[in-house]
Amino acid sequence: MPRLVASGHEVRAVLREKREETIHWNVETGELDLSAVRKFGEPEALVHLAGENIAGRWTREKKRRIRESRVEATQRLVAYVLKNVPSLKVFVGASAIGFYGSRGEEMLSESSPRGEGFLADVCEDWEAAAEPLAAAGVRVVHLRFGMVLSRDGGALAKMLPAFRMGLGGRVGSGEQWVSWVAIEDAVKMIEFALSEEGMAGAYNAVAPEAVRNGEFAMALGRELKRPAVLPLPAAVVRLMFGEAGEALLLSSARVHPERLEKAGFRFECGRLEVALKKS
């Protein structure tokens, strides 16, 4: 938000809870507090990043929440916006590289077909949920995020305690590809998508250079000045996390930001060492 404000945008957060200077969103119905919306003027852009955290074992209930918070919630929000916010010009929605599934050594671009599995199903339907906006003339951009690197949250924050104690290392074989993006570039991508009127459709929101899991572990160890040589065996991952461990820790997705680069996006943290230092 500070970056968008600094660029001259007037920004208001849309939250599930009611707070001053924000817009309340009833996730069960998709309704926005229109009195708050009108108070801040006619909105021209909506950035939709909401979704249940996918970390943890995927029970049937957990999978239901993951899907409902992305697909059904987006469908309700889009239906409400179409009826009540005619000023909207652009919608930027989060998606994920889970769209591609686990693809081994294959280099993946936006033209690659969807993969297999629960995350691929969710991502496809998540993106499709916003298509009624595109049909109505709103410019719709889907950012397929890789692992977002931030010490304040997400996967990196969960890794740090073990790595700081010297207990980190590769997961499984360590040969699987990890596609990542620094938090600074993730925010910059959202700003870029809002301002570049030629952008529409899906864009891989990842750094240009995916790395193997083992390389990622060693780079993080170097940044923290700690050894990173204790592996987490694949069998242990499957035992602890089941389907989620297979999809999130052992899968391989070598994703390239082809369309973003063609659109002219410039990375601030295109190399992993720089991203880990700045995150």
124-157: per-residue pLDDT in tens? Answer: 999 999 999 999 999 999 999 999 999 998 999 9
% of the chain at pLDDT higher than 70: 96
Dihedrals φ, ψ of 263, to 5°?
A: -75, -10
Dihedrals φ, ψ of 181, to 5°?
A: -150, 140
Task: State mean pLDDT over 81-95.
Answer: 95
% of the chain at pLDDT higher than 90: 82
Domains and CATH numbers, the chain: 2-278 (3.40.50.720)
What confidence score (pLDDT) does residue 31 get? 82
What confidence score (pLDDT) does residue 183 get? 96
Task: State mean pLDDT over 246-265.
Answer: 98
96-121: per-residue pLDDT in tens? Answer: 999 999 999 999 999 999 999 999 99
What confidence score (pLDDT) does residue 54 get? 95
The answer, yes or no, to whether residue 47 has pLDDT greater than 80, is yes
What confidence score (pLDDT) does residue 1 get? 59
Higher pLDDT, 25 or 157: 157
Task: State mean pLDDT over 51-72.
Answer: 96
In three-state form (DSSP H/G/I as H, E/B as E, the rest C), the secondary structure along the chain is CHHHHHCCCCCCCEECCCCCCCEEEECCCCEECHHHHHHCCCCCEEEECCCCCCCCCCCHHHHHHHHHHHHHHHHHHHHHHHHHCCCCCEEEEEEEHHHHCCCCCCEECCCCCCCCCHHHHHHHHHHHCCHHHHHCCCEEEEEEECEEECCCCHHHHHHHHHHHCCCCCCECCCCCEECEEEHHHHHHHHHHHHHCCCCCEEEEECCCCCEEHHHHHHHHHHHHCCCCCCCECHHHHHHHHCHHHHHHHHCCCEECCHHHHHHCCCCCCCCHHHHHHHC
Task: State mean pLDDT over 52-72.
Answer: 96
189-247: per-residue pLDDT in tens? Answer: 999 999 999 999 999 999 999 999 999 999 999 999 999 999 999 999 999 999 999 99
Q: Which of 36-50, 55-69, 81-95 has the lowest mean pLDDT?
A: 36-50
The answer, yes or no, to whether residue 8 has pLDDT greater than 80, is no
Mean pLDDT of the chain: 93
Task: State mean pLDDT over 44-48.
Answer: 94
